[in-house]
Structure 1
Amino acid sequence: MLRNDKIRVVVADEQPVIVLGLQTWFETRERYRVVASATVEEQLLSKLRDADGELVIVGGALGAHARPAADRFGILRKLRECAPHTPLVALIADSDPLAIRAMQRAGAHGIASTRDELKDLGRVCERVLSGVKGVISPRIAACLENERRSAQAFDPNTIYREVRLSATTLAARM
């Protein structure tokens, strides 16, 4: 069944130029209508309650400067509390795998990089809207894959196996 109405989107980022770019991009798509935008956390939370959005796009750094480093993505948890059934896509500027996983744990259904092409962000949004969780853009996937490869390159068993052999050999000689 095709939708007759547009998907209501809420966009937020602490940089107004990013908010404007997201608004422009979503508004040029026939399928979407931006119903609210914000550049600060409090503004986003109040607008989200009134806007009845069907999709929230939020910059991962929104409100992070006002939080302790341990709670860098607290805005995502607040959004989950405020709108628990609304799909949430987070935009992240860095490619730190720990940050990506923290965003997923904090409630992001999808994650895209600010360096992604907008068509990749669009694909993440489409998949999240279809009910898929844990969606990541190709750039984010590449970051996680690089981390996985690095972790495989360091195999402590190889190093410690040699140490155990040396200890066993030493004990046998005594």
Structure 2
Amino acid sequence: MPADNKPMRVILADDHPIFLIGLKVVIEQGHRAQVIAEAMAPDELLEKLREHPCDLLITDFMMPVEDQNDGLRLLERVRREHPTLPIIVVTMLNNAGLFRSMLALDIQGLLSKASMANELPAAIESVSRGKPFIADSVQQSLREAADYGSDTLVALQDLSPRELEVIRLFATGISVGAIAAQLNRSKQTVSAQKVSAMRKLGLANDAALFIYLQEHGLV
């Protein structure tokens, strides 16, 4: 992420020109981020990502072009080529299975186009601080599909005090290294305790962990 006094460099992708304009206005209105490149198709997005170093990708999930309309395939390719790039996905879809698949690709932000004007600035701010942002509507869809259901309530009791301590601190946006320094443990130990806690809770990634902690009042 850039220094605090510099706007985040954003690449923006959407296949609808009017919506692309609207997204750019929302992104730049708070001077927290600046759009440095835009794309309207998958191949163009991949080209822009190679040409322009950036701090964040904000992309529509579906950008159909000829035979290529698989949003997950595009996200998988972006993730392979840019494994550490923060990604926020905006979508009109409301499908818990797709949401879960996107989160499994380590997507940092996931929100609906319907509430984009209200939620996108908060998503950018959250991701800039290293915390995932999952829109309320997405969380509701996941809850209704029982993706993060009652089974994890029992598992919470199985966490050791140190595992619980680590994931509580992680949920506040503190990095694993900072947690290690605060608790006077090695970074490897803290990382292992976080991974162990997530495995016990049945959570696949940091976004799923954040949703779980938020739902159960641990954030």
For the Cα contact (< 8 Å) 1:120–1:138, is it kept in 2? no
Structure 2, unpaired ranges of 5+: 151-219
Percent of matched pairs sharing the same residue = 24
User: Closer, same or farther in 2 for the Cα pair 1:40/1:67, shift >3 Å?
Assistant: closer
Q: Deviations over 1:145-173 (max 9, x none)?
A: 22229x88xxxxxxxxxxxxxxxxxxxxx
In the alignment, the residues of structure 2 paired with residue 94 and residue 77 of structure 1 have an alpha-carbon distance, to the nearest angstrom, of: 18
Q: Deviations over 1:36-77 (max 9, x none)?
A: 111001111111112211010010102476347xx5411111
Residue 11 of structure 1 corresponds to which residue in structure 2? Answer: 12
User: Closer, same or farther in 2 for the Cα pair 1:39/1:25, shift >3 Å?
Assistant: same
Residue 144 of structure 1 corresponds to which residue in structure 2? Answer: 142
User: Closer, same or farther in 2 for the Cα pair 1:9/1:131, shift >3 Å?
Assistant: same
Work out which of the two has the higher radius of gyration on C-alpha atoms and give 1 or 2.
1
Q: TM-score, normalised by structure 2?
A: 0.61
For the Cα contact (< 8 Å) 1:63–1:75, is it kept in 2? no
Q: After superposition, where does 1:113-128 map in structure 2 within 5 Å?
A: 113-128=112-127
In the alignment, the residues of structure 2 paired with residue 4 and residue 125 of structure 1 have an alpha-carbon distance, to the nearest angstrom, of: 15
User: Closer, same or farther in 2 for the Cα pair 1:120/1:128, shift >3 Å?
Assistant: same
C-alpha RMSD of matched pairs (Å)? 2.3
State the shift of 1:117 in Å: 4.0
Q: Deviations over 1:70-129 (max 9, x none)?
A: x54111111112222210011121111001111112342211111114221222222222
Q: TM-score, normalised by structure 1?
A: 0.75
In the alignment, the residues of structure 1 paired with residue 123 and residue 20 of structure 2 have an alpha-carbon distance, to the nearest angstrom, of: 18
Secondary structure, counterpart of 2:85 in structure 1: coil
Structure 1's consecutive aligned runs of 4 or more residues displaced over 4 angstroms after TM superposition are: none
In the alignment, the residues of structure 2 paired with residue 16 and residue 124 of structure 1 have an alpha-carbon distance, to the nearest angstrom, of: 22
For the Cα contact (< 8 Å) 1:11–1:56, is it kept in 2? yes
Q: Between Structure 1 and Structure 2, how many residues are aligned?
A: 147
User: Closer, same or farther in 2 for the Cα pair 1:7/1:72, shift >3 Å?
Assistant: closer
